[in-house]
Amino acid sequence: MPLPQYTHYRVNLHILSPIHVGAGQELDPFSYIIRDRTLFLIDLIKWMEVYPEPDKLYRMMDSDNFANIRSFIAENFNFEGAIRCAIPVDNPKLLEVYQRAIQKKDPKNQVLISPMTRNEISTRAYIPGSSIKGAIRTAIANYFVKIAKVTSRDFRGRDDYNKKIFGQINKDPMRCMKLSDISMGSPGTVIVESKEFPLDPDKALTPKGHTEVTFSLCHTGKPLTYPLRFSMAPFELHKKRIDLKFLVNALYEFYAPKYEAEYRKFYQSPRASKVQQGMFPMNQAVSELRANETLIRIGHFSHVECITLDDVRKPKTRIGKDGKPLPWGKTRTLANGIYPFGWAKLEFLDLESAPRPEKKWPFSESAPDQRGRQRTFETAFKPIDRGPIVRDRKKKPVRQKPVSPLKKLIEELGVVRANDMGRIGTIMQKIDILETDAEKAALAEAIRDKIGPKAFKKHKKKKYLMELMAKK
């Protein structure tokens, strides 16, 4: 069978609204501090190595008082060399909650924050190419629902719809498409509060936690464009040629109606005036889409309509008090209660940039009433001031010997409590940065010894750790 002939295309991703692609767990409370409207991800071990009172520090770290340790770190951290990266915070509530938790040493308030996927070496957040490819796959699948004779029965605990549309998994034609990850700038992300906006006007917005998201056109009022490395070998699916032109049309036909329907359903009422103001730059960009441009929705909070297929949509919802599934599509999750999540524009530079047929959108293309207008991030916040986080200039800096990644992770494991499965899980996720099987086996053994034989027997990653140890 001949290898597919890939063509490399020039593609730009324009981030229209905040995008969150999560790392799978909350930020470790000992991995960050917040000062001056900025969240600093810190290297705890590096800071501990230069702390001037090591005995005092290790006595504190050996205690079981989580809240005291967190407050101690927040109040005493002062080594700029241990800052991994800085992320602006655009939510006064988070600043207040964090400050209160530190001052009162409150163990109940963990100040949980959902981070973006992040490169462990560069520390920059990124949008995985797989997330963009998944959104493209949904649009292509939707195009072939009727042609492939997919029904709602194909979703009952099986993957029959995938087989009907794309064929056997080992012959999946989507392998003919390759997309790069997109690394964010510095700072390319910001911390916001996710809020649930209900369709019912009698219900208030519900907080859903704090989330790291990409900056966007909505948030800053400025275009945010990233080049995307995109390669594709045209393929055939149900006797239809899937090439670049087909791709743009399939994406537009799937996502543009979703954008329009969501606006009509949730954001047209006077109650949503702040949302209308916040979405104005994005609405302008949507109304001006060219023939070589299309909407796409990426990441978490994309909502059921954009991640399931038309005509056969049967989303599973939790069971209500009456024993029946609750209705779906009754809420939207918004960043800071203003900006919808996940919207972006793909611009294919190798296709002709011609006007699209005129379309009547549900939003006004003129600027909204400026009274009470929501400020952008840049009009509300001054440049980041790192304030008290400086090097201790009284002492001559000590040249630190480079520490191997394995030693660093084992030292980090050493200050973790044996029952703190969240932090141990974070360390386990970093096994892949180790280069050799011997290093991975050594860390796996250290994790096993840390949690103890009884807990190890029941650990959900026991098989994985044992496989690593077997390679020693």
Q: To 5 degrees, how large is the angle CA 330–CA 333–CA 334?
A: 135
What's the burial of 110, exposed, middle or buried (CB within 10 Å: 0-12/13-18/19+)?
Answer: middle
Q: How far apart are CA 172 and CA 178, in angstroms?
A: 13
Which strand ranges, in their side-by-side order, compose the sheet holding 339-340?
113-114, 206-214, 189-198, 331-335, 339-340
Determine contact, residues 287/366, Cβ cutoff 8 Å. Answer: no
In the block, tokens 């109040």 appear at 75
Separation in Å, CA 112 to CA 51, 124, 215, 470 = 26, 20, 20, 36
* 329: CB partners within 8 A, 6+ apart: 265, 303, 304, 305
Q: How far apart are CA 218 and CA 283, in angstroms?
A: 9
- Give 10-residue mean pLDDT values along the chain (472 residues): 82 97 89 93 91 86 84 91 93 91 86 92 93 97 93 73 88 93 90 95 92 94 94 94 96 97 95 94 96 97 94 81 83 96 97 93 72 49 43 44 73 75 78 82 88 84 85 72
Question: pTM for the whole thing?
Answer: 0.80
Contacts 24+ apart (CB under 8 A), 369-373: 369/273, 369/277, 372/273, 372/274, 372/277, 373/277
Residue spans of the domains in the chain: they are 8-19+126-364, 29-111, 406-470
Strand-strand pairing, 339-340 and 206-214:
unpaired
| Conformation bin of residue 318: beta by default, left when phi > 0, alpha when psi is -120 to 50 | beta
Q: How far apart are CA 76 and CA 437, in angstroms?
A: 37
Q: How far apart are CA 421 and CA 148, in angstroms?
A: 45
